[in-house]
Structure formats: structure tokens, C-alpha cells
A and B are shown apart, each in its own frame.
Chain A
């Protein structure tokens, strides 16, 4: 029997002579009509599209596999990375489909803790500013559990993580500082990213601790943006000589 090819058509329109069947019972290809001929089922994929659709599906499935295998926190092999980057990333990245979906939720590591940003005028903490130190700008605000707040936490965490990447290090803190000059009313700011560390399960009743994950000074001088790393206090604390100064008090 000669194979009947369905012409291109609107798949919403029932072709004349098609059998009426409940959805799902219909075979997807041509079926036997009342007169022994082959007619397409209602809503079935046109024969002219079946091959291209199958090809595209196969291609996408390979791309999906490579994206999952190539976007893990554990890294990826050179082979998978190369194939994905050359053949699939150029069209999957723009669609935001180059995703690993490795939603780990938590590993209990410091980088999984909540981060927030604190911005204050430079020198306030050290008492170099004029007057009493003002409360720092905090992003997100304390107690903000919204998705908007979550985006600020991601931004802060990304700035800390980026310090391990030569290309990204310092870029976000500088941008955050530059973006905050107007709001703070000053061109010399200290950016501090604070990590809220939950207690270990063994000491579950203890309160959360905080630690400074990153601290930099960002200032604008003669139109040029300057980023000055601020090492942890213990690294710059002055050495105190235990011996009393001659003729001196304490």
C-alpha cells in the first residue's frame, strides 16, 4: 500500500475523512480510514514535520545532557566543556537554557550562609569621620525575607565568590560602591559584605554569628574609581609594646 503523506496544514483543523477518536487513543501517524485508505489522526504531527521535529528534539536532548553535565559545581571534563561550548552554548545561552539545574540548597558551607551588604562613609568606624557614625546602608534590610531581598543576598554572595576569580575579583564591589555614591552623598565609601553564620548543629541553641567576608574602600578621585582592599583588622592592628616607655605612664 502506498504511504499517504499528509500535506502541510493547520493542525487545529480536522482533516476531512479523519476518524473521530478520544484524545490519546488516536495514533500519531496515519491510520486506516473507513474506506481502507490512510488518513491522519486529528491533531497529529504532519508527516513533513515529524522528521525535523525528531531531529530537533534529539539535538536538544543532547544539549540538555551536556548542559547538566557541564554546569556542575564539581567542574566538567574538557571534552564535555568543549563540545557544549562550541556546538550548544551559542544557541542555548541566549535562550537561558544553558542550565545545570544543580540546586544543592545547602552544603552547610560558609558560602551557603546568608550575605548582606553594608555601605558606610569611609573612616566612620575608625572615628575619622565628622560627628557620630551614622548607621550603614544595609542591603537587604534586616528581616527582609522577600525575593527582592534574596536578590541582594545573591549579589553580596557573588561579590565574595568572585574574589577567587582573577577576572571578576573586585569588579562587583567597585560597581556597588560607584552605584552607592549618590545615595550615600559621598565619593569615598566602605563596602562590607557580612556573612551570617548559623551555629553548628551541635551547638544549635547558640545564636547566629556574623563575620566579615569582604571589606573594601571605594572612592572616586579626579573621576577615577579606586578600589582599596581593607585587610582584616587582625592583620593591621598595631603591635603594642608591653614594656613601658621610658619616663612615661602606661
Chain B
């Protein structure tokens, strides 16, 4: 690539293009080559991971059931003024769509969707669908009201009109213990249905608690590991790495074994006479069990970053502080502690991110009051089958986690993430 100078004064590459251009092209080629190497994995992750999650989250705003089952009725309802009872035309259209044999399978789904807004709607729908088929001719309004007087109420129709919108943010309202009144105003859920905000609060509270417990436990041992001679510290590191590499289920099981009412710890306490045989302590299948097991499982994630930061702090700093007259507490607080803050920060965000999405441990050792937000998402996914609500709860959780991920990137830099 010998550059030759031509009479226009420009440096040129061997093929005659100006050197600047040739260089830009080479840089572009290099960039493309680097990017090309990442494309297989990027495509894989986009298709098999990010796309599915995006599609799942889309379910939180999707509610096509009512408009699919009653397209005509919904269309006419749009024009309705929302005062008193709707016209006979609307009743007739609903009766026709309920009796339509092609609609059979859609009616149940529409009933479920309406039931999310107003409980009792599913049974009202089922009852009406069964009986309205036997009504051959109008007036349908009287027939409907005869089946159930709720069909004469304005609110019933307002709810159908609300649910007729195929896209809605109602699941997010429900996830925040709010709901939409028939007239479209946002109001608080009835007291008995207000559980999700409490659950979010509990999840955040437990995660903060676990993070603090991890800092408190990880700090002394990381300090010890970082300051001991390398032979001893490598040996002691096994105590941190073995739990890290051990299956999560194994560790959860062993906490069940240890903490049960007839478990090892209670047995020891009884044989030492600290606790009577009859009042063994309930340490598992409640919040205590979740908290202890989660702290144990997440502790290595705090020790490892903290250790690697402490390892880089020169010993001389503390000696210098001491020799200048600082007592050990001041030397530690003013010299050592500030230098370990990056490690504490990195470890805390990591532990918090992992704790906030925890599912397995609360499900196994949490009992009733140790359940976290992930467990309720699983419940709505697999048991109650309210997928929009599951997706909305998941969406809120994911937003929180991604915000922390962004913060982690700002503070530590994701490229600096290290393992083991």
C-alpha cells in the first residue's frame, strides 16, 4: 500500500484513491467485520429471547376478545350516548351475536375478559347466552331484562363498551391496584382486591433487606480474603465458590433441612435447652425462611466484586493513616471504606437485580407470607390464566430491572462484569 504523491498534492494509496478515503474505507470494513462476528448471536438472542418477551409483554395491552365476539354490537355501542338504557337495536344485535353458532368459542373468552373488569360478568354472560337462544323474536330489550335485570342497567353496557376496545392499559391499572369505573374514570380497586402494590412493596423491601444483609456479611470476609496471604485466602475462597457453584435447588433444600421445625437447628437448640421441645421455632415456610435462604444464595455475588475491589487497595494506605496518628476506626472510615464503595455498589445492584426477580426460593420456602412478585406472576400465568395481568405485572417488574441494569452499566460498565 505504498502511498504515492500525485501532482494535485493529495496522498494516494496504491490503487490511486486518496489516502483519506482509503483509510475511511478500511475502517468501515473493519467495523463491518467486527459487527458481522456478533450477528449470529445477536440474531439468535433477538429471535429466541427478546422477541418472545416483547410479544408476551404485548399481551398486557391486548384485549381483543369482546370486539371479536361482538363486532357489530361494539360498533353500534360506540354511537350510544351512555344515558339510560341503550336502544332496542343494540339488544337485538347482541342477541344475534350470542346466538350465532360460529361465535360459540368466542363467547366464553369474552365473558372472561368482561369478568376482569366486573366480577360476576362471566356468569351473567353464560346465563344469558343459554337463555337468549330460545327467544325467537323481539322485543329483545324486555327479554334481556327478564333474564337478568342487570341488562337494564346503564353500567353493564358501559362496561361492554369499555371492553370493546381491543387495546387497553387496564391490566396495568389492575397491577397497580386501580381499576376503571364503567364511566372510564380511574378509581382504586375495592380494598379486598388490593394486593399487588403490597406485593411490589414487599418484594422491594425484601430485596433491600437481602442486599443489606449481603453487604454486612460479605464485607468482613472479603476484607479477610483480600488481606490474608494468597495461599490461605485461596483455600478460604472455596467457602465462597462452592456455594456459588452448587445448584440453587440443593441450597434451598438444605435450608429446609436445617430450618424445619424438626430440623437440625431446632434440634440443636432443643438439646442445648435454649428452646423447649414443644415450642420449636417456626423458621421456614414464612418470610424468615425466604430471607435467610435468599441471603445465603446471593452472598457470593456480593463477595466476588467486593473482594476484587479490596484486592487492589494498597496496604500502605492504612499504615500511612495509622502512622499519621489516626486511630483504627478513623483510618478505616476515612481511608479504607471510601475506596471500597465501587465494589459495594457493583455487588449491591447485582444482588438487588437478582433478588427482585426471585422465584424458586420464595416458592419453596416462602409459605404464605414469603411470596414475592414473581410468584404471583407465575400464579396468573399457570393457575388463574389471567395472562394480561401476568404480562402487566411482568412489564412493571422488567421496567424496574432494566432501570437498574442501566444504572449498573453507568456505574460499573457491563463490559467490566466478571465472574468467579
A binds B: no
**Residue positions of A touching B, CB distance < 8 A:** none
**Residue positions of B touching A, CB distance < 8 A:** none
